[in-house]
Chain A
Amino acid sequence: MPTKPDDILAIRDLEVHFEQSGSSLSRLLGRPSGTVKAVDGINITLQRGEVLGLVGESGSGKTTLGRAILGLVPATSGTITYTPPAGEGVDIATLKGATLRSMRQRLQMVFQDPSAALNPSMTLETAIGHPLVIHKVASGEELRQRVIASLERVGLSPAEQFLSKYPSDLSGGQKQRAVMARAIIVGPELVVADEPVSMLDMSVRAKVLQLMLDLKRDLGLTYVYVTHDLATAKFFCDRVAIMYLGKIVEIGPSDEIFADPKHPYTKSLLKAIPDPDPSKAIPRDLPRGEIPDAARPPKGCSFHPRCPMARNDCGWEPRDLKSLVEEHWTTTDLATFEREHELVGHLVELNTSAGEVVVEPHRGKGSPDDVWAMFSAIKDARPDEPLWRGVTSMEKTPAGVKFVFAPSSPVNLRASGASEVACVLYPSAP
């Protein structure tokens, strides 16, 4: 795919999969028990001098995507094309060995935990100068001078005072500055910053973010800012990509995303941020549940089981019915729960993504009529559950109760206003 001259990075159809080893038995037999699609078909173009925010909760794949950009985790498929200011683009996804390592002069990284990112047994002088030694750029007095210049640049001055210090002598903010000094000493173009301020105290966060903005302005850096914190992303980023279970659900200019969030997930995230203004009441209509198991992502739109605005074609499946029954049990009295649990057991038959399923009485206890009565009661008690929109039919059969689920509509990214959204509520423009 051709790239414009001011594009620094073009990611196309990137996928990063991890083999997950399950139980100890399957590990012993060397059998992988599942594939986690940590990054599942990502397309992003990054312009020179831009700050792109990758925002998501844990398990969204934002960190893996950030690492894949640097070639720190191997891409399963797709391309990551980096274009230097002058010259041909290179696909980082295919680079290996020495050529990949030499790319690290252009692409650098800042880590979440500054205490862990520095080798505890290296002085700051050795640690910060090490990239220059690795890439054989400078040595001797020149190396020392460049380390001093870099320390001064990140505000650790007088630098001479810090040269012989160990990371354990520094405070959190100072360590993060040292990590920044190490990242910029080789003169990179793109810096992937993985939650650079989330481990720091409130009063220090602003200082480190300001430093990053100063460095961007002075050194012409491009940032990929990986974070779970929408508040800092709003302030810091030009463009924001909201990620959920390995996919981008919404991407667009920061102003647009925050002023007019479109995807229900983005809306929920914005609503959930605790705001220090006590006049804003505690939000009551938050999505329930948590990010699902990435090895078995939900059918259709991954967010549908938690989505307050879900429709019939969002990808409803038997597993969602099980969650509903379990939630129903948290509201019933103990006797009802015990009777119903006795009747249907652990509902293992619902652990599937099939289009239809039959719930039978567990081990012959009770009749299909009892099961029918139970589900009818649940449906009557919670008629507004989005799940029922996705159940096209619920009927009694000789064996039990049969549920048929509506097929799901595709949820690829589609332009809507200035941003792109992956949600059935925003179909592509006719």
Chain B
Amino acid sequence: MNSFFGRLLAPFRNTTGLARWILVTGLIITGTFVIAAIFAPILAPYGFAQMSVAGVDFPKTSPPGPGHLFGTNNQFYDILSRVIWGAQTAISVVLLSVVLSALIGVPLGLLSGYVGRWTDRILVFIMDALYAFPSLLLAIVFAFLLQHSIGSGVISAALSLTVIYIPQYFRVVRNTTVSAREATYVEAARALGAKNGTIMGRYLFSNVIQSVPVIATLNAADAISTLAALGFLGLGIQPTDASEWGYDLSRALQDASAGIWWTGFFPGMAIVGLVMGLTLVGEGLNETINPTLRKRRFRKVTLPPRTPGREEVGS
């Protein structure tokens, strides 16, 4: 097991310079948001839909100050609390959608790549059709459809994002499977008498999922902005269900002309921050995991002076 973690960490240890810097910066930014999300009940001074404390109402659109560090908005909510609770919403929606789309996309890609023929053609056709749609449009359609069947909570937002990202996992896994299928160890597995299921599960799976972490993090970054866009359009999570940055941003729209900058600035910065953090992690991982980008790096070496008086062969 020790060596398993060793192998897991190996790409990280192998990185140097910019790639490692990108990865570490991304991890710090993303980590901050994850901590905020997990400890939101402790960290947030108030609830996300709280308008008063001990019977005293919050002021409406009060600027940042000692009582409310980020100020309050026109719905009497405390913005700092909204931002922290919003991190929880964003992370849970994105985590759920990324896990779900990987759970569906990876096995389908594996199956399509390994079995080939008609299965492959049909699946590729469906996935390409899904991929051809603008992702936001697709998310809007699904969010709209799901609103009627299972409401508009975290789950339905996650599901509508899932649909967008399945094709990406499918494509990457399918393409790596198609090339890995020809590898000798796969033929060796057939020569051992392994069933197709065993070959896919034990021989191909572990060798084709290596690029999945990279897509997952990059998709997560994309999902944050898509979720915010849904919220901005009012198709996301309702403000009373959970706090959502995109919704807050849309509410802050009319404030901007009135010089009330804080209602839009803080949720906006939260979106930018988390998207940037996840993108950096994704790019950093890509640099370290992706063998095509990772060229063999040699350290600088200086030749020591020769030991004098040594005779050489040849010359």
Contact = CB atoms under 8 A, between A and B. Distances in A.
A and B touch in the complex (CB under 8 A): yes
A118 B183 CA distance: 10
B189 A119 contact: yes
B191 interface: yes
Contacts of B193: 101-105, 131, 134-135
B3, B185, B192, B195 — most chain A CB neighbours (10 Å): B192
A262 interface: no
A119 B185 contact: yes
Contacts of B191: 70, 72, 104, 108-109
Interface residues of B, number: 19
A161 interface: no
A428 interface: no
Interface stretch (B74-82, B140-148, B199-207): B199-207
A134 B184 contact: no
Contact of B192 (A116, A121, A130, A164): A130
Interface string B180-198: 0001110111111111001
A121 B206 contact: yes
Contacts of A102: 193
A109 B188 contact: yes
A37 interface: no
**What's the dominant secondary structure at chain B's contact region?**
helix
Contacts of A182: 188, 192
Contact of B183 (A116, A131, A186): A116
B207 A130 contact: no
A72 B189 CA distance: 11
B194 A134 contact: yes
B202 A116 contact: no
Given A117-B185, A119-B207, A72 B190 contact: yes
A120 interface: yes
Contacts of B189: 119, 130
Contact of A111 (B184, B194, B198): B184
A134 B197 CA distance: 11
Interface string B201-239: 011001100000000000000000000000000000000
Interface residues of A, number: 28
Nearest to B194: A134
Contacts of B192: 104, 108, 130-131, 134, 182, 186
Nearest to A164: B3
B106 to A, nearest CB: 15
A186 B3 CA distance: 28
A186 B189 CA distance: 13
A182 B188 CA distance: 10
A120 B194 contact: no
B185, B187, B189, B190 — most chain A CB neighbours (10 Å): B185
A318 B187 CA distance: 41
B291 to A, nearest CB: 12
**What's the dominant secondary structure at chain A's contact region?**
loop
Contacts of B185: 116-120
Nearest to A115: B184
Interface string B14-32: 0000000000000000000
B203 A119 contact: yes
A347 B195 CA distance: 52
A108 B3 CA distance: 31
B184 A113 contact: yes
A218 B240 CA distance: 77
Contacts of B207: 119-121
A72 B187 contact: yes
A134 B198 CA distance: 8
A111 B183 CA distance: 11
Nearest to A109: B191
A271 B224 CA distance: 70
Contacts of B198: 134
Nearest to A179: B188
A335 to B, nearest CB: 48
A102 B195 CA distance: 10
Nearest to B203: A119
Given A101-B195, A105-B193, A134-B194, A118 B188 contact: yes
A164 B7 CA distance: 13
Contacts of A121: 206-207
Interface in A130-184: 130-131, 134-135, 164, 166, 179, 182
B174 to A, nearest CB: 19
Nearest to B193: A104
Interface string A93-109: 00000000111110011
B184 A116 contact: yes
Interface in B40-66: none
A186 B191 CA distance: 12
Nearest to A113: B184
Contacts of A164: 3
Nearest to A100: B193
Nearest to B198: A134
Contacts of A131: 192-193
B54 to A, nearest CB: 59
Nearest to B3: A164
Contacts of B183: 116
28 contacts: A70-B191, A72-B187, A72-B190, A101-B194, A101-B195, A102-B193, A105-B193, A108-B191, A109-B188, A111-B188, A116-B183, A116-B184, A116-B185, A117-B184, A117-B185, A119-B185, A119-B202, A119-B203, A119-B207, A120-B207, A121-B207, A122-B203, A130-B192, A130-B194, A130-B202, A134-B192, A134-B198, A186-B192
Given A72-B187, A118-B188, A120-B185, 5 more contacts: A105-B193, A108-B192, A111-B188, A130-B192, A134-B195
Interface of A: 70, 72, 101-105, 108-109, 111-113, 116-122, 130-131, 134-135, 164, 166, 179, 182, 186
Interface of B: 3, 7, 183-185, 187-195, 198, 202-203, 206-207
